[in-house]
Amino acid sequence: MLYFREIKEWKFVKPIYIGDTIHVELDVVETKAMRRIGGGTVDISLVVLNQNNETLMKGVWTVLIASRPE
């Protein structure tokens, strides 16, 4: 990853408490080539879940990714 570009949307659904065990599930939603920067953008959907599989936060991030040299 070259760098984090933006948060398109983010929701805080429930609080995270001290002692919670959390994990994040990621899905690639969209990719877009940007040859001028030598890579492209990737939109990633994230869901933060606790130990009971309850959604705590969710949203979409955009990151810039370097492509493989040709």
Q: Is 2 a residue whose pLDDT tops 70? A: no
pLDDT digits (tens, 9 = 90+) for 34-70: 888 788 999 999 999 999 999 999 999 999 988 876 6
Which class is domain 3-66?
Answer: alpha beta
Q: What is the pLDDT of residue 39?
A: 87
Distance CA 15, CA 12 (A): 7
- Distance between terminal CA atoms of the chain? 18
DSSP β-bridge partners for residue 9? 60
68: Cβ contacts below 8 Å, ≥ 6 apart: none
Type of residue found at 42: V
Q: What is the pLDDT of residue 63?
A: 92
Distance CA 30, CA 56 (A): 23
Q: Is 16 a residue whose pLDDT tops 80? A: yes
